[in-house]
Amino acid sequence: MGVLILDNEKIYLREISFSDTDNIIKWRNSLYVKQNFIYQKDLTREEHESWIKTKVKCGKVKQFIIIEKGNNNPIGSVYLRDIDYNNSKAEFGIFIGEKTALNKGYGTIATNMITKYGFNQLGLNKIFLRVFENNVHAIRSYEKSNFIQEGLFKQDVCIDKKFYNIIFMSIFKNGDSND
């Protein structure tokens, strides 16, 4: 199987491989990334390798490494998980792992690239995400990519004995939520 590449003038996305494990663990376990994840325990090498074997290689997840053009540095990851072909939907996730790549618009570009891929290549109708209500920066970024808020789940996640509200957001292939 060849390496699928999605391209833009500033970044490109390539399929994740086992060789990305060290970067994924480093990024995913950094405090500034981890604090925005619902699952906040440190990721182990074994967990990540199992994820690739049981989710990515089986097609349940389409995960890409975000590469900064010019210097070809890997800076983060973007993915569609729990792909449900029966209901034509998947959950979106992203993280920029390199602090030097923050606030350059790469997250929004990667989001737009993978949603287009999900709709056009995978035939999805809906891509959704979950985000902490207090993660205003991420919410603004998702809104730039045309995600809309579908719901607020109050006290949905408990971390260190504190409850957090979760916002569900979605984007639809036809651009319409069919309200």
Nearest alpha-carbon partner for 61 in 45, 78, 46: 78
Asked whether the predicted pLDDT for residue 178 surpasses 60, the reply is no
Residue 143, domain member (yes or no): no
Where in the chain does DSSP place strands (E)? Answer: 5-7, 11-15, 62-68, 73-84, 89-96, 126-132, 148-159, 162-172
Domain with residue 34: its CATH number is 3.40.630.30
Number of domains in the chain: 1
Residue 145, domain member (yes or no): no
Residue 151, domain member (yes or no): no
Average of pLDDT values for 57-72? 93
* DSSP alpha helix (H) spans, 6-88: 21-28, 31-34, 45-51
Structural domain harbouring 18: 5-127
Residue 79, domain member (yes or no): yes
pLDDT tens, residue by residue, 31-59 = 988 888 888 889 999 999 999 999 999 99
pTM, entire model? 0.91
